[in-house]
Structure 1
Amino acid sequence: MSETGKVGIIAAYEWQPEVEGFYDGAMFENKDMKVDIRFVGHWDEQKKALDVLNEILDEGADVIYPAGDGYNVPVIERVKDRGLYIIGYVSDQSDFGESTVLTSTVQHVDDLYELTAEKFNNGELKSGNLSYDFQDGVISLGKFSPKVDSKFRERVGTFINSYKETGNLPNQ
């Protein structure tokens, strides 16, 4: 959906897997895409996130992924005012405007809690940092904007289904 060939991610922290996923996805779609990655250093530092957003927008990005649940809504509102695009974060954020929110990465935290409790009860919960994904049913994409071509939606759905089955991304 980028017309400028420049997209941006405003992430809270470098360790977020969303950062690499967004970058890889953008480069998979267009090897010449310019991906501006910036870090806020906190989940809900709204002022810093909006300052970073202004810099990214001034440099020509027209699709933004605000990967911080304490500042994603103000970022969406500012991008909406500029008539550009957003990928929502944490929940399906299409209700902020179907002409702005192309889709969202949805974290099903309630399902993650149930999965974790089940693993604990079965003696299968390992210690340490654990990662869960589409295959575990705790991550999905939200509703697509009507602006997103139906063939592209189908293509993304095919990639997700393949990833769930094989664990391999389309760029691997």
Structure 2
Amino acid sequence: ITKEGEPVERMLFVLRGHLQSTQVLRDGVKSCCMLGPGNFSGDELLSWCLRRPFVERLPPSSFTLVSLETTEAFGLEAADLKYVTQHFRYNFMNEKVRRSTRYYSPGWRTWAAVAIQLAWRRYRHRLTLTSLSFIRPRRPLSRSSSLKEDRLRLYTAMLTSPKPDQEDFSF
């Protein structure tokens, strides 16, 4: 349906069936997400419509979207979405709308999953370090340098993970 990097021409709202959304992360790792009834794709287009100053060029897709079965979806073309956002601009300033859009966005979900995985790995690493310190007491672990290195790794991973545009809904 859509390839990563191609312009997003419409938002798709899945009514029936399933779509697979695939994103290539850094290091060549693929992130897959299943979109079913009630999900949508093309949230980059909404950010594009609300961006000021307005840019005529359509935004690139951050996902490859493939239909896994016969799927029924409603498509909202870029021009129609632009019309709606211009005429109901103040409705999109609502904090509930912002949060809902981010919550259901596959891009934000992928970013959140990466953040949760990093936090879990950091927690497991700290548990391992504390359990090893009881087993091998001959060399004391430098707590301050270990925590600094852990924090540095965490922040580096967070900054390099593909976070979706921050510009959605900025006025």
TM-score category by the smaller chain? Answer: under 0.3
Scaled by the length of structure 1, the TM-score of the pair is 0.23
Larger radius of gyration: 2
Scaled by the length of structure 2, the TM-score of the pair is 0.23
